[in-house]
Chain A
Amino acid sequence: MSDGTPLSAPTRRWALNEDWAATIVGLVLLALVLTGAIPGWLVP
């Protein structure tokens, strides 16, 4: 699987971005639905 290289903490950058991305996308979608910009019938 690998060469046994030790891991270090700073390699978590993508996970951090993914966390914020999910938060932003989730809240934007919520806002769009609550304001009626995404109508209920549009969600499959």
Chain B
Amino acid sequence: MAGDDAARPAPQQTETTDAPARTTGGTIAGLVVLVGLAALVRLLDQTLPAATEGTAIGGLVSVIEYPVYAIIVGLLGNLVLTRLGVRDQLSGAFRTEFLIKTGLVLLGASINLATIVSAAGPAIVQAVVLISIVFGFTWWLGGRLGLDDKLCAVLASAVSICGVSAAIAAAGAVQAKKEQLAYTASLVILFALPSIFLLPLIASGLGLEQAVAGAWIGGNIDTTAAVTAAGAIAGEQALQLAAIVKSTQNALLGVVAVALTAYFAIVVERREAAPARSWGRDLWVRFPKFVLGFLAASIIATVFLASGGSRGAISAVNDLRTLFLILAFVSIGLEFRLAPVREAGWRPVGVFAAATGVNLVVGLGLAALLFTGFQPAAQG
């Protein structure tokens, strides 16, 4: 996520010159496809459980949450559009990052400000410890396997902070090559997709409390969109905690980007370091601004309800949030690309997989240590 998140590398950084040009017409057509697929997801979510009740698959369907339908429908849409050769022309409409961040700002309205305040301390501790350990491990293992320093920096940032956004920020900071960013971005999505389904399942199997499950999901899955999808599957409280923990990690992206810029300038390339003033500006540039919107929404809704506002209005905001999240999850499926991962070779994939394993284990320990017994304040 910045945040994450970003499920898409910044277009100007990864597009090839021979890719079909995006046009306004193509973007409008893409928007129609996206909204159509989102409507299909809504329809499946609302009708499939009743339609399959009492059948062999009825039990399974009744526990499937909307993010699962959305991602599967998005992936199938991706397959069809790719076969038709029109996906790249339509892709201007597949704005996963914008959609997920808008959804997260709206999610802020369902979280009591007291919850954010009381979760902030443990969330910061978890983020700092987890980022330090996972970043350090990835950097060390990448070095042992002979990966380029810049690729190590991009991979380590992606797996330890917030996926593609962190990869983009790190790639800019260390001046990595376009292809290094492209396959890191694809690796992030490749690992995030199964995590969306597996982490809630494992959390449920381990009998984790909602807050612990949310903190674990928020600290582990790399992209903000996938964190939100997994959190939504795990439950409302888990979603809230996952969003708070992920937002905290996202906010630390700027610190890591500035540190990487300084390290590569001073240690690797032996250039003169930038003045502290420009580092301060860089911190602000890298700061995920939607976190401010998320906080503002929580404050507005908390004050609104405390002053006698209707809970029905917050309910409508939650429906609107779900709408944006469905669009974002469909978009994740539509944007997925496997080709750059195939081009990367096994070593970056191995490093990323090992780092993900470390992230999972350390993250579970930290989440259990810091969030066991955590009780979110009720909104309203």
Contacts and interface: CB of A to CB of B under 8 A. Distances in A.
B289 A19 contact: yes
Given A2-B178, A9-B173, A29 B320 contact: yes
A33 B172 contact: no
Contacts of B173: 9
B10 A15 contact: yes
A2 B319 contact: no
Contacts of B300: 27, 30-31, 34
Contact of B293 (A5, A22, A38): A22
Given A1-B340, A8-B172, A39-B316, A30 B289 contact: no
A2 to B, nearest CB: 4
Contacts of B168: 12, 15
Q: Which of A14, A20, A43 counts the most chain B CB atoms within 10 A?
A: A43
B293 A27 contact: yes
A42 to B, nearest CB: 8
Nearest to A18: B98
Candidate in B6, B98, B312, B343 with the most chain A CB atoms within 10 angstroms? B98
B225 interface: no
Contact of A18 (B95, B182, B261): B95
A4 B178 contact: yes
Interface in B280-330: 282, 285, 288-290, 292-293, 296-297, 300-301, 304, 309, 312-313, 315-317, 319-320, 323
A19 B315 CA distance: 25
Given A1-B343, A22-B102, A43-B319, A6 B293 contact: no
A39 B290 CA distance: 25
Given A1-B182, A34-B313, A34-B317, A27 B296 contact: yes
B176 A23 contact: no
Interface residues of A, number: 36
Contacts of B12: 11, 14
Interface residues of B, number: 61
A3 B248 CA distance: 35
A20 B290 CA distance: 6
A19 B28 CA distance: 21
Interface string B158-172: 000000010011011
B109 interface: yes
Residue of B109, B309, B315 with most chain A CB atoms under a 10 A cut-off: B109
A11 B317 CA distance: 34
B176 A18 contact: no
Given A16-B285, A18-B97, A34-B300, A6 B175 contact: yes
Interface in B144-192: 165, 168-169, 171-173, 175-179, 181-183
Interface of B: 2-3, 6, 10-14, 16, 42, 95, 97-106, 108-109, 165, 168-169, 171-173, 175-179, 181-183, 261, 282, 285, 288-290, 292-293, 296-297, 300-301, 304, 309, 312-313, 315-317, 319-320, 323, 340, 343
13 contacts: A2-B14, A2-B16, A2-B178, A11-B13, A15-B6, A15-B168, A16-B289, A22-B98, A22-B99, A26-B102, A30-B109, A34-B301, A43-B323
Given A23-B290, A33-B317, A43-B319, 11 more contacts: A1-B182, A1-B343, A9-B173, A12-B168, A19-B101, A22-B104, A22-B290, A27-B105, A27-B300, A29-B320, A33-B316
